Amino acid sequence: MKSGNISYWRTTSGYEVDVIIGDAEVAIEIKSSEEVQSHHTRGLKAFSEEFPDVRLIMVSLDQMPRLMNGIEIYPALDFLARLWNGTIF
């Protein structure tokens, strides 16, 4: 990935995404939940409505990586390992 800005996103209605990389290339939400549920993904889904080409990632305490409704879900340690070895960006 090209180097880019890091920011966050929040709407007036309260949707938010913790980390936006570059020009809406990647959106990352971080949750302390042991199992991501669909209600945890509302901010990412709202963001993807404005930026349909964004890669959506949820970092949590889930036990295994998985895909849910187009959102990549990674356990925190797995995400960090992928980040450092260059497979996230």
The pLDDT score that the predictor gives to residue 68 is 96
- Cα separation, 82 vs 32, whole angstroms: 19
CA 29, 33, 38 angle in degrees (round to 5)? 65
pLDDT in 10s for each residue of the chain, 89 residues? 455 789 999 999 999 999 999 999 999 999 999 999 999 999 999 999 999 999 999 999 999 999 999 999 999 999 999 999 988 87
The pLDDT score that the predictor gives to residue 71 is 97
The pLDDT score that the predictor gives to residue 87 is 86
The pLDDT score that the predictor gives to residue 89 is 76
